[in-house]
A = this chain, B = another copy of it.
Amino acid sequence: MELAEAKQKFIDTWGRLGSEWGINRTMAQVHALLLVSPDPLSAEEVMSQLSISRGNANMTLRDLISWGLVEKQHRPGERKEYFFADKDAWNIARQVAKERKKRELEPMLRVLNELAEVEGDSKDPHFKTFQSSVKDIRALAQNANKTIDTMVRAEENWFWSTFFKLFK
C-alpha cells in the first residue's frame, strides 16, 4: 500500500469511528489528517486535502481547538494561521474523556441526582423499580466520573505501566 493510500484509509477509519461515537465525521477526519501531518497545515490545505468548504474547515478546526486536540500556530510575517495536532495518543484519549465527561456525563449525573431524590410509596413496585434503577445507574456514572478524573490527572508513564495492570 502506498503512503498516500494508507493516509486516506487512516482518515476514513478515524472518521467512521468518530461518527459511530457521536463525533462529527468531518471533525474526526480533519483530526486524522493533522495527526499524520508532520507540519502544521493551513485552513486552505485542510480544505483542499479533504475537499471541504471554507466554512466547514473553519468550524471544524475551531471545534478541534475547543476539544483541546489541536492548536493554532502563528508564523511571523504571515497572516495565515496554521493548525497542529497533539500527536500523543494518551493525551488525545485523556482530552476526549475529559471533554465528554464535562459535556455529557456531568449533566447526566445532575439529572440522576435529582431523580434519586424523588419520593414515593415504597410499597409500589413501580416506584421501587424506578428508584433502584436510577440509583444503580447513578452509582455507575459516578464511578465512571471518578475513573476519568484519575485518568485526567495521571501521568503518561503511570498510565502505561500501572493502570492497565489492574486489568491483566
Residues on A lying within 8 angstroms of B by beta carbon are 1, 3, 6-7, 9-10, 13, 16-17, 19-22, 35-39, 87-90, 92-93, 103-104, 108, 111-112, 114-115, 118, 120, 124-130, 132-134, 136-137, 139-140, 142-143, 146-147, 150-151, 163-164, 166-168
Residue from B21, B87, B129, B143 in contact with A38 in the complex, judged by beta carbons closer than 8 Å: B129
Query: CB-CB < 8 A to A146: which residues of B?
Result: 164, 166-168
Query: CB-CB < 8 A to A89: which residues of B?
Result: 133, 136-137, 139-140
How long is the Cα–Cα vector from A163 to B21 in the complex, in angstroms? Answer: 25
How long is the Cα–Cα vector from A87 to B132 in the complex, in angstroms? Answer: 9
**Which residue on chain B has the smallest CB distance to residue A105?**
B17
Query: CB-CB < 8 A to A111: which residues of B?
Result: 9-10, 13
Query: CB-CB < 8 A to A88: which residues of B?
Result: 136
Residue from B90, B133, B139 in contact with A168 in the complex, judged by beta carbons closer than 8 Å: B139
How long is the Cα–Cα vector from A118 to B104 in the complex, in angstroms? Answer: 37
Contact A128 B164 (CB under 8 A): no
Contact A3 B129 (CB under 8 A): no
Contact B118 A3 (CB under 8 A): yes
Using known A-B contacts A22-B21, A104-B17, determine if residue A126 contacts B3 with beta carbons closer than 8 Å.
yes
How long is the Cα–Cα vector from A162 to B48 in the complex, in angstroms? Answer: 50
Contact B3 A36 (CB under 8 A): no
Residue from B114, B130, B142, B164 in contact with A36 in the complex, judged by beta carbons closer than 8 Å: B130
How long is the Cα–Cα vector from A25 to B43 in the complex, in angstroms? Answer: 34
Residue from B36, B133, B151 in contact with A129 in the complex, judged by beta carbons closer than 8 Å: B36
Residue from B3, B120, B128, B143 in contact with A167 in the complex, judged by beta carbons closer than 8 Å: B143
